[in-house]
Amino acid sequence: MTDILTPAVSDYLLAHCTPADQVLLDLAAETRTTFGGAAGMQISHDEGELLTMLVRLTGARQAVEVGVFTGYSAICIARGLPKDGRLLACDVSQEWTGVARRYWERAEVAERIDLRIAPALDTLRALPFDPALDFALLMRTRKTIRFTIRS
For residue 136, give every residue at least 6 positions away whose Cβ sits within 8 Å of its Cβ, in sequence order, or none.
63, 64, 65, 66
Q: Is 110 strand, coil or helix?
A: helix
pLDDT for position 15: 81
pLDDT for position 145: 47
Q: Is residue 94 a contact partner of residue 115, using CB atoms and an 8 Å limit?
A: no
- Confidence label for 85 from pLDDT (cuts 50, 70 and 90): very high
pLDDT for position 149: 47
The DSSP string of 36-85 is: GGGGGGSPPHHHHHHHHHHHHHHT-SEEEEE--TTSHHHHHHHHHS-TT-
Domain residue ranges of the chain, discontinuous segments joined by +: 20-138
Task: Report whether CATH 3.40.50.150 matches the domain 20-138.
Answer: yes
pLDDT for position 2: 45
Q: CA-CA distance, 98 to 141, in Å (whole number)? A: 19
